[in-house]
Amino acid sequence: MTGRVFNIQHFSIHDGPGVRTTVFFKGCNLRCYWCHNPESQAFLPEVGFDSARCISCGKCVSACPKSDGVRSAIFDNCDGCGCCVEVCYTGARKLYGKDYAVDEILTDVLTDRDLYDKTGGGVTISGGEPFMQTDFLLALLSALKSEGIHTAVESAAFVDWGKIKKALPYIDLYICDIKSADDEKHMAATSKSNRLILENITKLSRCTNLLLRTPVIPGFNDSENDLSAIADFIAALPKVPQHELLSFSGICKGKYKALDRDFKAENLSPPTRNEMERFAEIFRRRGIDCTLND
Ligand code: SF4
Ligand code: SF4
Ligand code: SF4
């Protein structure tokens, strides 16, 4: 079985306990306007282009089956075949999305087994939305568990509960964003309602080890009211999970440019450390174990 992945990141320390390898699945069913990984959103492979690295050698034009002989197909007609990336020696072109077999990923992530053992780490499957490729996710999780590896899944939980339920026996830690308690705001900012997500979070809190995360996005959810509504929802869950606040960061700006996409959060400034501490208090006041993930 193969699945589509756009990055395998070793030595990750922000995606669960210990030192981890994070496998990023391609494809997401949300479209958060601040998304840190725009290359994760489309399921089809895509090519990014960094003009600052281009020396105009023209090799990509010759290699591109969809070229008109003057320019390569990027971005309009590109089908992500990757031929231009292979001949671009400056790295101006980068392919996002490659199909891997479960065994290929397993061999790669097991190179760090000693590190997982020493630090209490493991493997995190992120995205995108990992449940967009549920069969592949199940196969990979089951292979990891048969090797005794700690597994975490980062998922926005906008997915049928039946799929999540099937995966739970293989997941040691479920990491899920809670971006807004207000359905209209959530819909406007991510393209989807939060109802299914909140329902799934409630179910997850009953039956698995859950870590909730809130990305703090200036102008979207960084008010006392918005964060209090999220905190109230968490405090009322059947079993109150741990919670992390993540600060918005605009460092992904270059990726949007490379993919020729608008970055609607481009002009936002990240919250200060003091503001983040103040936001965390909103959760702590309600008895929630809230930390800053930075
Ligand atoms: S192959 Fe790379 S460096 Fe050469 S023209 Fe194409 S993008 Fe630029
Ligand atoms: S990925 Fe393929 S179709 Fe797209 S620009 Fe490169 S060579 Fe052309
Ligand atoms: S759910 Fe995550 S990966 Fe998907 S669009 Fe939102 S921030 Fe990006």
What is the distance between the alpha carbons of residues 191 and 7, in angstroms, rounded to a whole number? 24
pLDDT of residue 51: 92
Candidate of 47, 76, 94 to mutate for ligand 2, largest count of ligand atoms within 8 Å of Cβ: 47
Q: How far, in Å, from the CA of 54 to the mean position of ligand 1?
A: 5
Averaged over 18-26, what is the pLDDT? 98
> What average pLDDT does the chain have?
96
For residue range 236-266, list pLDDT tens digits in order. 999 999 999 999 988 899 999 999 999 999 9
Report which ligand 1 atom has the smallest distance to the Cα of 56. 5
Q: Which residue's alpha carbon is at the smallest distance from atom 3 of ligand 3?
A: 128
Instruction: Extract the tokens encoding 291.
Output: 């930390």
The model's confidence at residue 96, banded by pLDDT at 50, 70 and 90, is: very high
Report which ligand 2 atom has the smallest distance to the Cα of 79. 3
Q: How far, in Å, from the CA of 34 to the mean position of ligand 3?
A: 8
The model's confidence at residue 130, banded by pLDDT at 50, 70 and 90, is: very high
Which residue ranges form the domains of the chain, and what is each CATH number?
2-43+101-292 (3.20.20.70), 46-96 (3.30.70.20)
From its phi and psi, is residue 154 left (phi > 0), alpha (psi between -120 and 50) or beta?
Answer: beta
Q: Which residue's alpha carbon is at the smallest distance from atom 8 of ligand 3?
A: 35
Q: Which residue's alpha carbon is at the smallest distance from atom 8 of ligand 2?
A: 64
**pLDDT of 76 higher than 80:** no
What is the distance between the alpha carbons of residues 102 and 141, in angstroms, rounded to a whole number? 9
What is the distance between the alpha carbons of residues 201 and 190, in angstroms, rounded to a whole number? 17
Q: What type of residue sits at position 247?
A: S
Q: How far, in Å, from the CA of 30 to the mean position of ligand 2?
A: 26
Instruction: Extract the tokens encoding 142.
Output: 């089951």
Please name which ligand lies nearest the alpha carbon of 59.
1
pLDDT of residue 207: 92
Percent of the chain with pLDDT over 90: 93
Q: Which residue's alpha carbon is at the smallest distance from atom 4 of ligand 1?
A: 57
User: Contact at 8 Å (CB) between 192 and 129?
Assistant: no
pLDDT of residue 3: 98
Q: CB within 6 Å of ligand 1 — which residues? A: 54-60, 87-88, 90, 92-93
Please name which ligand lies nearest the alpha carbon of 70.
1
pLDDT of residue 253: 93
Task: Say if ligand 2 is within 6 A of residue 47 CB.
Answer: yes
Pairing of strands 122-126, 151-154: parallel
pLDDT of residue 294: 77
pLDDT of residue 224: 97
Task: Say if ligand 2 is within 6 A of residue 64 CB.
Answer: yes
